[in-house]
Amino acid sequence: MTARKLGLLISLSLFVAADSAHASGTSALAQELTRSQQVNKRVVNVWWLPLEYWLAAAQELKKPAQEIDDVRKLFRYYLIIAVLDARVLDDGKLEPATHAEIGPHLQIRRNGKPVEILRDVDPRVARRVGELSYLLKTSLSMLGVGLRIFFLPNIDDDGRPLLQGASRGLLTIRYAPGEDEDAFEYVWHAPLTAVAGPQTCPDGGESLEAHWAYCPWHGIKLRGE
């Protein structure tokens, strides 16, 4: 299997998931949240997985109300990202990078400020993530075993979340896959359309991304800016 075929497989997996009955939940979010890069004989996918994603996953998996409430309360403390870095070997087999191989090559900025990966995570959150990441791993088929999840702090001094899918914000991740590869930059702008819903141009009525400040066709400043 070539890196190109692997990349197509990932894209197809996500497309099929988005076209499923869950298209309005985690699949729609995953489509908006994934960033992909093909590098020589490897494919890299990076996801930002905000609180809204985990709530949608808990609901789709029909978790009890108490567990969903726990997700809402506990996950707000964390900025969670996932990385799949799969190298294609000469025999066609896949070799996913480990947490230890990926972590040192990640540079993350939340709303313009650098943020470090946490070493210690609330075990309740780690356990819930292990359960709720099932949907994303399943959508990736055999590649799901290579999904690596990282936790970062996401609360200000007053206990308020710093970055959410429903409010304005910016996440930037630089990642260099392998020792000899250049770093790639992945950017997410919030609010997410899958969370906040699309905007509508007041002039032409076009459907626009939730985070856009202006209509690109008419140059009109959008409501909420």
**pLDDT-based confidence at residue 190 (cuts at 50, 70, 90):** confident
CA distances from 197 to 27, 66, 105, 193, 210 (A): 15, 27, 33, 5, 6
CA distance 176 to 173: 10
* DSSP class per residue in 151-164: EEE-B-TTS-BS--
The mean-pLDDT minimum among 9-13, 77-81, 177-181 falls in 9-13
Give residue 91's pLDDT: 77
Preceding omega of 123 cis (within 30 degrees of 0): no
Give residue 198's pLDDT: 58
**pLDDT-based confidence at residue 6 (cuts at 50, 70, 90):** low
Give residue 176's pLDDT: 87
pLDDT tens for 22-61 read: 345 788 888 888 998 877 778 889 999 999 999 999 999 9
The mean-pLDDT minimum among 85-89, 96-100, 193-197 falls in 193-197
> What are residue 187's phi and psi, to 5 degrees?
-130, 140
Give residue 196's pLDDT: 57
pLDDT tens for 141-185 read: 888 899 999 999 999 888 888 898 888 889 999 998 876 677 889
pLDDT tens for 97-156 read: 999 999 999 999 999 999 999 999 999 999 999 999 999 998 888 888 999 999 999 998
Task: For residue 60, count CB atoms less than 10 angstroms from its CB and return exposed for 0-12, middle for 13-18, buried for 19 or more.
Answer: middle
Give residue 205's pLDDT: 56
Q: Are strands 42-48 and 199-200 parallel, antiparallel or unpaired?
A: unpaired
Give residue 40's pLDDT: 75
Average pLDDT in the chain: 80
Give residue 208's pLDDT: 46
Give residue 149's pLDDT: 97
CA distances from 107 to 53, 110, 138, 158, 187 (A): 22, 10, 27, 25, 12
Give residue 207's pLDDT: 55
Please answer whether residues 150 and 82 qualify as being in contact, where contact means their C-beta atoms are separated by less than 8 angstroms.
Answer: yes
Task: For residue 45, count CB atoms less than 10 angstroms from its CB and return exposed for 0-12, middle for 13-18, buried for 19 or more.
Answer: buried
pTM value is 0.81
